[in-house]
Every structure is written in C-alpha cells, then in structure tokens.
Structure 1
Amino acid sequence: MSIVGTKLKPFANTAFYQGKFVDLTDADIAGKWAVFFFYPADFTFVCPTELEDLADKYEELKGLGVEVFSVSTDTHFSHKAWHDSSAAIAKINYYMVGDQNHDLSNNFGILREGVGLADRGTFVVDPDGVIQLVEITPEGVGRNAEELVRKIKAAQYWRNNPGQVCPAKWEEGEATLAPSIDLVGKI
C-alpha cells in the first residue's frame, strides 16, 4: 500500500538541534512543509555525504517554508557526539531526530525488519500533514538534495495552482500542463 496521500501519524521524539536537545511531536509539524530524511546510522559512510549535501541546501529549503528532520534509530546523544566530531555533520543546522524506540521509522514504514535500522528514505509532508513525496534508495545509493528541492518546488506549485501539473524535469518558472481531454495522446 502506498504511503503517498496518507496522514502523518502521531509521534514524540527528542532531537539534537542547534546545540540543544529538544522534544518534538507531530503537533510541532502541523501547518508546515516538512522533510523527514531517514538514514541507517550515525558514524557510517554514505550517510554523512547525504546529510552534508542536505545541510548545504537547508537555507534554501527554509526559504521555501520547509523544515528538515533527519532521522535515524540512533539516540539524540549519538547525534550530538557525531555533530561534535565530524566536520561534515557539524554543518548541520536542521533537526537530528533520535528514533531509538523506532516509532517514526515504523510510522513511515522504513524500519528494516530484524535489523533495527531505518532504510534510506525521504518523505515530504505538506502543511495539512499529508505525505506528498517519497523516495527510498538502497543502503549504498545516496540521495541528491538539489533534486529534493526541485521536487518540493513542484509539489508546492501543484498545491498552490489547482488544475496545473508539473511535467518531467520541471523547474521553477517553466511551463506546466493543464490536464484535459485535449491533451490526451498529444504530449
């Protein structure tokens, strides 16, 4: 069953955020665009490259009204230690959520059975708490934050412009489509 179009489930977790530990719940996400960026574990290999790439796009995402929550099944304490010991992770200004109880990983269906680690998954939630975008890659394939930004811009455009859709490789400012019977078989 697809998770796209479903509502964000309740959660309560602790995150490392800008030098502090903060408690987060689903109520904190209400009314906002949010990215939940799951990765397998702190102190690993592909994960810091992805998290640093996302850190480089964080200000642009904030400018789009999007908050970012990286999530692994590590604790918030582990996130702080990694932040303090890695130049790549030290660049992170977004939330690093601890999910040692696996609530978030299970809510998004991203927990690897029998392993206790989250798969590499990205979920974009709209201001109504509805999951709009999902990307899941295997452990050895990193994601691209620039493409995530493009997809979020398309999702926001689509939400704000009923009757319009964004074609493949759409970039902000380019032409969109207005689906109708007149377009059937002509694209």
Structure 2
Amino acid sequence: MAANINTKIKPFKTTAYKQGKFIEVSENDVLGSWAVFFFYPADFTFVCPTELGDVADHYEALRKMDVEVYSVSTDTHFVHKAWHDASETIAKIQYTMLGDANHTISNNFDVLREGQGVADRATFIVDPEGLIQAVEITAEGIGRNAEDLVRKIKAAQYVAAHPGEVCPAKWQEGEATLAPSLDLVGKI
C-alpha cells in the first residue's frame, strides 16, 4: 500500500543529479514549497523517458506554481547523468533526479516492488508542510500525463488556499468550486 494521504514524508538523504551537478537532497530540502515525487522503474527503459520528458516540458509552468519536481528511480545518480548525456529526451530535464540505490525513498513511499528492486510508476503531490496531498500509481505499461498532474496540483493548491471549498471532477483553474454543506446534499 502506498504512503497515505495527509501523512508526512519520511526522512531521507540521497545524492541526485541536477543540471550537470551532483547534489545532496533530503526531506528538509522539500519543505517550504510544493513538491512532486515522480517514481519510475528504471533509467534507459521505454515508457519512463516519455513520462520524464513530458514533465520536463511542463517544468517551467510548475516552477511558476512554486512546485519542485523530484524524479526517483532505484538507479544511482551516476546512471541518471549517463542517461541525461545519452538521451535527447532526458537531456531536456532541468528538475532533480534522485538516486535511490539503497531503496530508502521507494520504501518510505511504499512503492518498491517486492523482490524486484525497482519502484512502481507512482506520483505523489506533497504540500509545503511535507504532507502528501495526492497519489497516483499506474501499471508498468501505462504512462502518466503531465497536463493532468498540473491540473491536480492547481486543485490541491486551490483547496489549501480556500478552506471550506472543494474542486469537482475535471475542475480547471478559474472554474466554479463547491462549498460542501447540508444544503448541497443530494443537489449535485
């Protein structure tokens, strides 16, 4: 079972690859802004680069929303650099690529495939306090959509900024929200 909604992310410390450098990242670096943990099975695979490239295409918009992206696989930071150097799709990534060779982060988020040593294809949206606000896990062959990820983050940010309001299905920024109340029961 994946990490639970409204639970705090667990401690971790790892080496990552970001914009041509190796950097240290811990859970403390995540706090204070919105974050996406974007788990995928492995570098140099098939569906994974299409997803990471899609997120890279939306990274500037996410940064404008005060969201930092952390892709995570059980590969090392060295493998992330090699992939970045070898793949035109991965070369456009500007976000942080976390190495998780010791499986700490994948275990913390409960997405490590038992007996396989790789993470599930999973996405976690984390608020500035480090609380998980959304989780998506798909089967191996089903790629994710960064446009929907952006929409979900906008909804999570809206709900966080507007207590007492909720975003209905397919909600887009600027559309009407709902204010749950006894008067609303049975009228939707």
Normalising by structure 2, report the TM-score.
0.98
Aligned to 1:77: 78
Aligned to 2:88: 87
Partner of 1:178: 179
d(CA) in 2 for partners of 1:137, 1:14: 26
Q: Secondary structure at the match of 1:151?
A: helix
Q: Give the structure 1 partner of residue 65 of structure 2.
A: 64
Q: Deviation per CA, 1:48-102, whole angstroms, max 9, x where unpaired?
A: 0000000000000000000000000000000000000000000100001100000
Q: Secondary structure at the match of 2:85?
A: helix
Structure 1: gaps spanning 5 or more residues: none
Question: C-alpha distance in 1, partners of 2:91/2:173?
Answer: 31
Pairs within 5 Å for 1:133-148: 133-148=134-149
Residue 152 of structure 1 is matched in structure 2 by 153
Cα RMSD (Å) of the superposition? 0.7
> In 1, Cα distance between the equivalents of 2:126 and 2:15?
19
> What corresponds to 2:14 in structure 1?
13
| Count of residue correspondences | 187
After the TM superposition, which segments of 4 or more aligned residues of structure 1 sit over 6 Å from their partners? none
SS at match of 2:171: coil
Q: CA separation in 2, counterparts of 1:23 and 1:127?
A: 19
Question: Which whole-Å CA distance do the structure 1 matches of 2:113 and 2:164 have between them?
Answer: 38
CA distance in 1, matches of 2:142, 2:14: 27
- Give the Cα separation in 1 of the matches to 2:5 and 2:101: 25
**Scaled by the length of structure 1, what TM-score is found?**
0.99
Q: Could you tell me how far apart the structure 1 residues matched to 2:31 and 2:57 are? A: 25
Match of 1:45 in 2: 46
